[in-house]
Amino acid sequence: MNLPSNDWSCWALISICCLFWRVSGSNPAMNSRPNIVLFMADDLGIGDLGCYGNNTMSTPNIDRLAREGVKLTQHLAAASMCSPSRAAFLTGRYPIRSGMSSSFNMNRAILWLGGSGGLPTNETTFAKMLQQRGYRTGLIGKWHQGLSCASRNDHCYHPLNHGFDYFFGMPFTLLNECQATKTPEIHRALRIKLWISSVALGLVPLLLLIPRFAGWFKVPWTVVIITALVAFLFFTTWYSSYGFIRRWNCILMRNHEIIQQPMKEEKVTSLILKEALSFIEKYKHGPFLLFVSFLHVHIPLVTKEKFVGRSKYGLYGDNVEEMDWMVGKILDVIDKEYLRNNTLVYFTSDHGGRLESQEGKSQLGGWNGMYKGGKGMGGWEGGIRVPGIFRWPMILPAGGVINDPTSLMDIYPTLSYVAGAILPLDRVIDGKNLMPLLQGRVFQSGHEFLFHYCGIYLHTVRWHQKDCDTVWKAHYVTPKFQPEEGRACYWSGLCPCSGDVNYHDPPLLFDISRDPSEEHLLTPENEGLFDAVIKKMEEAVKEHRRTLMPVPQQFSVFNTIWKPWLQPCCGTFPFCGCDKEDDTLPTGL
């Protein structure tokens, strides 16, 4: 039967509408951009939370997130140190791609606020991507991605230059020095190395002057001055480690303004919570992105008096429970403002707990559960396996548990998907969109291989076979524990990435889908697939390395060394100091 032309037009319109309904309906986020709240703990062990098996530490609010959402049990940081892990989280890319990784054991993160390294300005963070989609974006808490490039106030690496509309917090990171009564965190061995370097470099310009004044030959004054300047920088870096770290590194900023220098550590928890709640109240009509980057549970474990002595695990446990309380307060305001059903909430840690954090017989670092190793170790599971919890009522199933390998880098493409943004096409994005996995529409994340770096050195490769539950893990490099039976690097304070390490050929192979504690070594004698698995991984490494491009190293010696002309200062340099913050706090904070 032939239909009149106007009937054909009607049928065409109906078909187009149906097609549009199917496409948009397949992604609820495309119809209504959700608010997004991201929680990131600092140095938290996966074994510290009740929802991950701890039955002696009280974390009811984080546990509630897991009950009401989806819990990832093999969620992995892209690095076991703060700065590179957070760079990967923000960009969805391995830190080696942005230069946020180091070839030196001494400087594997940003060491001084007055350094010149940081997250390059040509990197696109998820904040910038969502900002371009109309989101109001805020970062409350720790940054640790650098501050300035060439002058004290250029703030080229500042959060506001990386897509955040609002910033309140520490542009650096917590250190023991931030609490005047604590033992300095800069390890004695590092201080000795800085002193030796200062003396050696100081002798160079003197030795260069000898032939000039003896009349043997003339060394250009430019060479003498440059070597003297480098020696001076090393000396000031060494000297400042004894008295100025708290004043220079432990500061609070609101946007581009220093508001406390040094910060009042006893007030910082309440201020961060107040700012997070205020941001939600201000932008509750959405859509908004709020990244709460906790200072908890990094040493010196700054804890409010009302939480001290509350846990069974000393000051560290008290600090964990205080962080959980902060999570609860933020979830309460989300509920109070009727934002619960339209807010995607995510909780994680930047890497595993630091086993070497001790004071006398007290353990000040996190517990990584059954997993071997900890912070600073490139491949052992304890340094990189972290909590991963998503809650989005009516979109994600409550009480879901996913054992598939996932990564902190996956947050970037996942947020792109839920916000209806387009991923950058001019660079490699290593993360995967997790929404199909979280919703149960697929059963694998899309990560067939994951590469675990320690600085610029590839230590470990993980292979999840397609259409199979088996996850193989091969270690090419592992740290030498000090002492050997200690399973950490207690003597040096942090395990090195290169030099005094164990190199394995063939690599150490484990099936972590059956042996997550990495206790049962597989060999050609007890595993028939050994050679085939190693060959497959080596092919994957070759393919991965073909995608890497040379970039400036942000953690080079020159970039990480302290520079007086880059030091943020409120007041008279070098005795910087000010307090512009209103300490008035709402009841209950």
Residues catalogued as catalytic: 82, 144
Other C-beta atoms closer than 10 Å to the C-beta of 122 total 9
Which 3 state secondary structure label does DSSP give 11? helix
| Cβ-contact 513, 470 below 8 angstroms | yes
d(CA 139, CA 142): 8
Other C-beta atoms closer than 10 Å to the C-beta of 285 total 10
Q: For tokens 């709020």, what's the residue?
A: 290
Residue by residue, DSSP assigns 371-438 as: ----TT-SSSHHHHEEEEEEE-TTTS-TTEEE-S-EEGGGHHHHHHHHHT----SSS-------HHHH
| Cβ-contact 272, 589 below 8 angstroms | no
Choose among 493, 472, 494: nearest CA to 359.
493
d(CA 391, CA 386): 17
| Spatial CB neighbours of 153, under 8 Å, sequence gap ≥ 6 | 256
| Cβ-contact 456, 437 below 8 angstroms | no
Q: For tokens 């409120």, what's the residue?
A: 570
| Cβ-contact 84, 375 below 8 angstroms | no
Other C-beta atoms closer than 10 Å to the C-beta of 23 total 10
d(CA 409, CA 465): 20
d(CA 518, CA 523): 13
Burial class (CB within 10 angstroms; exposed 0-12, middle 13-18, buried 19+) of 58: middle
Choose among 32, 147, 41, 9: nearest CA to 388.
41
| Cβ-contact 462, 471 below 8 angstroms | yes
Strand partners, 515: none
Print the SS3 string covering 321-337.
HHHHHHHHHHHHHHHHC
Angle at 507 between CA 505 and CA 511, to 5 degrees: 160
